[in-house]
Structure 1
Amino acid sequence: MNRERPGGRAVYEIGHPVVLAHRGGLAELPENSREAFDRMVDLGVGVLETDVRHTLDGYPVLAHDETLSRLYGDPRNVSSVPWDELSEMRDTDGAAPMLLRDLLESYPRLVVNIDAKTDEVVAPLLRDVREAGATRRVCLTAFSARRVATMARVTQEKAMIGVGMADVARLLAWTHLPGRAAVLASVGRYAGSPRAIQVPLTFRGIPVVTAKFVDAAHSAGHVVHVWTVNDPAEMHRLLDLGIDGIVTDVPTLATRVWAERGLAPA
Structure 2
Amino acid sequence: MALALDYEGFKHKIKAKIGLDLSHYKEQQMRRRIHQLMQRYKAADYDTFMRMLNDDGDILRHFTDYLTINTSQFFRDPVIYRALEMQLLPELLQGGKPLKVWSAGCSVGAEPYSLAMLLSEQDPGCSWRVLATDFDVNILAKAKEGKYPDNLLTHVPERFRKRYFNERDGLFFLDSQIKNRVQFRRQNLLTDRYEIGCNLILCRNVFIYFTVETQENLIDRFTQGLQAGGFFIIGCSEMITNPARFGLQKVKPAIYRKVK
TM range (shorter): under 0.3
Please give the TM-score of this superposition, normalised by the length of structure 1: 0.27
Which of structures 1 and 2 has the larger relative contact order (alpha carbons within 8 angstroms, sep 6+)?
A: 1
Of structures 1 and 2, the larger Rg is shown by 2
